[in-house]
């Protein structure tokens, strides 16, 4: 398996999966999504029990590819959202336990990727956010569904409506991450946990994961479809394309509320 967007190292019972486009801040595009789907299949074949997911460079993942989205119409935007939702759901439904080691920026689609993991640890230098509203769009990879289930509706609405960034400490206090560690300790701690889980029973881990998901912490398929439809509608407004273009031009957007 030849990968352009990831580095995968399988350590018998567990694996380290790194997003490997640091020069692009590991932005999420269609290629990355399709490769992630391929990786998930490979991990099943290797019968891996736990996976540490992190990003190379100074970002975990700094969001979806804004340049690509700026070229989308309403239909293609909805399809892009549905693709991300589907593949992130494959990760949530995967028998392996996914541990997000958030080493830097986890913004937009990057935060949504971390949300689809089972466990999250953060570097003290990590920064989180769902800034989509500032670009004239909404989260489209499950953020409107998973974030409220993890931190509560009030906090999720605050973060989604304002689009502001929040710190690792704020993420810890909200229950989004379980630990905040020094940058040099993060990966070692996450890998140690993955190795510990590697000695557990594979079917029991999978059943435990399914049982927790049944409690309502995950995302329902119909809700993901609704999010994708609403995400697509953003691209049928005037403000959506304006926000994306303003981001690319490094200027403040001028919204006309239509």
Which pLDDT does position 240 carry in this prediction?
Answer: 76
Q: Are strands 59-61 and 105-107 parallel, antiparallel or unpaired?
A: parallel
How would you class 21 by CB atoms within 10 Å of its CB: exposed for 0-12, middle for 13-18, buried for 19 or more? buried
CA distance 213 to 179: 21
6-183 adopts what CATH topology?
2-enoyl-CoA Hydratase; Chain A, domain 1 (3.90.226)
Q: Helix-strand-coil percent breakdown of the chain, rounded to 5?
A: 55, 20, 30
Q: Could you give the angle at the alpha carbon of 97 between the alpha carbons of 192 and 24, nearest 5°?
A: 80
CB atoms near residue 253 (< 10 Å): 18
The SS3 of residue 64 is strand
Active-site positions?
A: 112, 132
Determine the pLDDT at residue 194: 97
pLDDT value at residue 227:
76
Predicted local distance difference test score (pLDDT) of residue 228: 78
pLDDT at position 218 is: 58
50-55 vs 14-19, strand pairing mode:
parallel
Q: Which of 132, 120, 97, 125 is nearest to 227 (CA)?
A: 132
What pTM, to 2 d.p., does this model score? Answer: 0.90
- Looking at residue 244, its pLDDT comes to 80
Sheet strand arrangement including 6-11: 6-11, 14-19, 50-55, 97-102, 119-123, 179-181
pLDDT digits (tens, 9 = 90+) for 159-203: 999 999 999 999 999 999 999 999 999 999 999 999 999 999 998
Quick: pLDDT tens for 71-124. 989 899 999 999 999 999 999 999 999 999 999 999 999 999 999 999 999 999
Chain segment 136-149, per-residue pLDDT in tens: 999 999 999 999 99
pLDDT of 235: 79
Q: Please report the pLDDT score of residue 257 as a whole number.
A: 63
pLDDT attached to residue 12 = 86
Contact 190, 54 (CB under 8 A): yes
Structure tokens at 102: 């958030």
Quickly list H helices, the chain. Answer: 30-45, 66-69, 74-93, 109-115, 143-151, 153-162, 168-174, 183-197, 202-212, 221-234, 239-248
pLDDT in tens, 197-254: 999 999 889 989 888 888 775 565 565 677 777 777 777 887 778 778 887 888 888 8
């Amino acid at each position: 398996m030849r990968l352009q967007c990831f580095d995968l190292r399988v350590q018998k019972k567990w694996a380290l999966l790194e997003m490997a486009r640091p020069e692009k801040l590991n932005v999420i595009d269609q290629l990355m999504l399709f490769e992630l789907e391929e990786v998930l299949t490979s991990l099943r074949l290797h019968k891996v029990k736990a996976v540490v997911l992190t990003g190379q460079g100074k970002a975990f993942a700094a969001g979806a590819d804004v340049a690509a989205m700026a070229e989308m119409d309403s239909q293609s935007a909805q399809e892009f959202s549905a693709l991300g939702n589907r593949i992130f759901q494959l990760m949530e439904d995967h028998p392996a336990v996914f541990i997000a080691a958030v080493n830097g920026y986890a913004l937009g689609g990057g935060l949504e990727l971390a949300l689809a993991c089972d466990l999250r640890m953060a570097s003290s230098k990590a920064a989180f956010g769902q800034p989509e509203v500032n670009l004239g769009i909404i989260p489209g990879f499950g953020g409107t569904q998973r974030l409220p289930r993890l931190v509560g509706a009030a906090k999720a609405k605050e973060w989604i409506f304002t689009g502001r960034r929040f710190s690792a400490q704020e993420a810890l206090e909200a229950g989004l991450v379980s630990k905040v560690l020094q940058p040099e300790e993060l990966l070692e701690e996450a890998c140690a946990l993955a190795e510990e889980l590697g000695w557990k029973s594979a079917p029991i881990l999978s059943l435990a994961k399914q049982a927790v998901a049944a409690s309502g912490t995950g995302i329902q398929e119909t809700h993901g479809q609704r999010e994708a439809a609403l995400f697509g509608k953003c691209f049928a407004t005037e403000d959506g394309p304006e926000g994306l273009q303003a981001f690319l031009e490094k200027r403040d957007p001028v919204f006309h509320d239509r």
